[in-house]
Amino acid sequence: MQNSETVGDRSNSDILEEILKGEYIKPVYQPVVSLSNGQVYGYEALSRISKQELQMNIEQMFRLADKDGKAWELEKLCRARALENAARLSADKKLFLNVNSNILYDHQFRTGFTREHLREYGLDANSIIFEITERVAALDSSAFLCSIDHYKKQSYGIAIDDVGAGYSGLNNIASVKPNLIKLDMSLVRDIDKDEIKRLLCKAMVDFGKSAGIQLIAEGIETEEELSVLVKLGVDLGQGYFLGIPQESFSPIVPEKVETIKRCHAKQYNENLISSVYPIVGHLARPGYIVSPDEKLGSIYETLKLNLSVTEFSVVRDDITMGFMTRTDLNELLGGRYGYGLHSKKTVQQAMKPDFSRVNYTMTVDTVSRLAMQRPFEQLYNPIVVEKDGKYLGIVTVKNLLDACTKVEVDIARHSNPLTGLPGNLVIEKEIQSRIFADAPYCVTYYDIDNFKAYNDAYGFENGDKMLMLLAKILKTCAAQGEFIGHIGGDDFIVICDYHEGEGYCESVVERFSREVTSLYRDEDIRNGYIISKNRNGVTENFPIAGLSVAGISNRARDYKNIGDFSQDIAQLKKKCKKQPGNYIEIL
């Protein structure tokens, strides 16, 4: 049996030595793609062995180099090969370089990334992103963190790789404060089938938005995974579905760009149906734009004549490259020497590349939350709105807040005044969103049996207490973000984003049966009924109030229109009302 440390009669150490001596390493580049517009954001440089008879597992090669004291030699060779082709990299694309964190603070490494050295390859620091690959104690080293700070100040980007795998976690993110974090492929794999993975990814997206860190999903292999990641708001993606590693800086194929656009179109339709908030594209206005080659002095003179312009976007070929405010420009050109030093610079040299941008399909409440999570100095800057990856316009924070306020007033007008739960307008939108979306749902209706008799015998004030009790129980039993609405009277609705609504219904019925007795006189509880008049004015005995629950899911039938759904649920509700005592039936 052949030892894993040998190939034929040669040891892996001998093979590694020959690879290093012959420099048998070639780079390949895998695209990192924007999930908002399908454009290539940058490329990750990966190393491959160029001589067939010297093949070994790449990860094994790097581990062996570390063990044999050849780590620096191998890193230097791989980096040199990756940079040799960089002259062919577009100026607006990033180059991701995997770096062993143990050598990041090495003097030789730092020397290899001076401005003069990069200029030989037609690069500058803004184009380089270091991927920290080793999840080791070095991340806690003060020397390491000082080195990270040095590279950040030189305008290099920092990404932490494999977040969500092994020991790479929030401690490292908090210490390093990276520009990007790469979500490990183990969390991306089958994310369309795993609710826990979706929740984890959503939490990371929210964290990234709040911290100003972009999220990259690694290992995307299916359209279904891509669709979920787009819906969750992940910034960037990488994987064989989007593009395989190649020896050239190849664009992704047009079909993949169309797939990303299709995912956004689907999200756009869902937002139109499901949200009472308008999409931000409806609020966007053209804004003032300049070319990246325009001189700062020229812009300054133009703005002096147009005081209404408080900010401008830097756009080339409909692609937004940066953003700048009038205040930023005045600070740069102000002072004793500012104009002389900077007026002949192009705006591309001075603009902020880390501005806020959103897709036009996002709802205004979502954009408002993102706007309020920005650093204080950017808090009230307008937000760039893009459509299909191209500049559409800007939206101000004032416009966002005005739109949200209007919607909230409308919701309040249509909410039930007793329970405060959403009323029919919002309920109808929620039901439509489930019917037209391709996702599991279960819609359940709750009706209080013998409520009219109780209301007549105990009075409207106590009847309201019973309605409030059911509303409270519906909210208490909700644990997975269920939507709860009050249709009117004693009719309530709960919409679950899963098929199996029976467990939730049973919890509600059990709790209501136990707690509703507190609203009755002891004598009526002992008798098991109350005496009241029926709808024809005839006195009779009515049992203690219970619940009839009718529900429909798309587990067995995929509804395509609201009419079929309404017809089925109406028939089911009639059937449930005829059953004595608490009754649950879900189709």
Q: What is the pLDDT along the chain (587 residues), one digit of tens a residue?
A: 344 455 445 677 888 888 788 888 888 999 999 988 888 999 998 888 878 777 777 778 888 887 887 878 888 888 888 888 877 888 778 889 888 776 776 677 767 676 677 777 777 778 889 888 644 444 456 767 777 877 888 778 888 887 766 545 566 677 778 888 888 888 899 888 888 888 888 888 888 887 788 899 999 999 899 988 988 889 999 999 999 999 888 888 888 888 888 787 666 555 544 456 677 888 888 888 889 889 988 988 888 888 888 888 888 888 888 888 888 888 888 877 888 888 888 888 888 767 788 888 788 888 888 888 777 777 788 888 888 778 888 888 888 888 888 777 766 666 777 888 887 777 777 777 777 766 788 888 888 888 888 888 888 888 899 899 988 888 888 877 778 888 888 888 888 888 777 888 888 888 888 888 889 888 888 888 888 877 777 778 888 888 888 888 777 777 666 666 777 777 776 666 666 666 676 67
- Asked if 509 and 584 touch (Cβ cutoff 8 Å), the reply is yes
Task: Give 287's contacts (C-beta < 8 A, 6+ positions apart).
Answer: 311, 312, 313, 382, 384, 393, 394
Close Cβ partners of 142 (under 8 Å, ≥ 6 residues apart) = none
CB count in 10 Å sphere of residue 96: 26
213 DSSP assignment: -
* Residues pairing with 483 in the sheet: 495
* Alpha-helical runs (H) found in 124-194: 142-153, 170-176, 185-188
Query: How far apart are alpha carbons 20 and 205 in whole angstroms?
Result: 41
- Please report the DSSP string for 434-471 in residue order: HHHSSS--EEEEEEEETHHHHHHHH-HHHHHHHHHHHH
- C-alpha distance across the termini of the chain, in Å: 60
- Global pTM reads 0.52
Show the CA angle centred on residue 138, arms to residues 134 and 144, nearest 5°: 110
Over the range 217-236, which residues count as b (16 or more CB within 10 Å of their CB) and which as e?
Answer: bbbbebeebbbbbbbbbbbb
Sort strands 546-553 and 583-586 into parallel, antiparallel or unpaired: parallel
